């Protein structure tokens, strides 16, 4: 399957969309644990109502799902052996950075080392896929 620069850019964009919105979704869902009901169905309904009426949860969730649509469309023209490592690894990295910026947790120096290794691995993965296409 042909790998284009556009596909790589879209996969990186998806990783950023997912990574940035994840901490906001977590922050927006605060208080969900306080929602209580007497039945399982009632609990589901109360939690669902809590989430869909909470803009601090709903807006990042919708943006996150738009990233999922972009990912789905990009998968149509991208090798899955490139798509999964690029998006998943970069998403974890962006989530950690965004969470740190929002004050969730300070990033430890070992995490920075891990982020550098993630970047190197992602670059090598992309390089290998693009380089193999050029040889044919």
| pLDDT tens-digit readout, 111-133 | 899 989 988 988 888 777 766 65
| pLDDT tens-digit readout, 42-58 | 999 999 999 999 999 99
| Confidence at residue 131, expressed as pLDDT on a 0 to 100 scale | 62
What's the rounded Cα separation, in Å, for the pair 120 and 49?
A: 43
Output the CA–CA distances (angstroms, integers) from residue 46 to 32, 52, 62, 104, in the order listed: 9, 10, 20, 27
| Confidence at residue 107, expressed as pLDDT on a 0 to 100 scale | 86
Better pLDDT: 23 or 38 = 23
Q: Is the pTM of this model over 0.85?
A: no
By the 10 Å C-beta count (0-12 exposed, 13-18 middle, 19+ buried), 39 is classed as exposed
| pLDDT interval class at 135 (50, 70, 90) | low
Output the CA–CA distances (angstroms, integers) from residue 81 to 1, 9, 37, 110, 122, in the order listed: 10, 16, 44, 27, 12
Contacts of 111 (CB under 8 A, 6+ apart): 96
What is the number of other CB atoms lying within 10 angstroms of the CB of residue 129?
Answer: 19
| pLDDT interval class at 8 (50, 70, 90) | confident
| pLDDT tens-digit readout, 56-86 | 999 999 999 999 999 999 998 888 888 888 8
| pLDDT tens-digit readout, 9-32 | 999 999 999 999 999 999 999 998
| Confidence at residue 5, expressed as pLDDT on a 0 to 100 scale | 80
């Amino acid at each position: 399957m042909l790998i284009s620069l556009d596909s790589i850019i879209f996969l990186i964009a998806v990783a950023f969309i997912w990574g940035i919105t994840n901490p906001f979704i977590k922050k927006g869902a605060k208080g969900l644990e306080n929602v209580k009901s007497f039945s399982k169905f009632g609990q589901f309904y109360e939690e669902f109502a809590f989430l869909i009426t909470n803009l601090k949860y709903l807006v990042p969730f919708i943006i996150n799902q738009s990233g999922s649509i972009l990912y789905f469309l990009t998968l149509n023209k991208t090798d899955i052996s490139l798509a999964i490592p690029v998006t998943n690894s970069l998403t974890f990295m962006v989530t950690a950075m965004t969470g740190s910026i929002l004050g969730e947790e300070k990033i430890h120096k070992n995490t920075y080392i891990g982020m550098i290794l993630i970047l190197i691995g992602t670059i090598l993965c992309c390089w290998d896929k693009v380089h193999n296409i050029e040889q044919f």
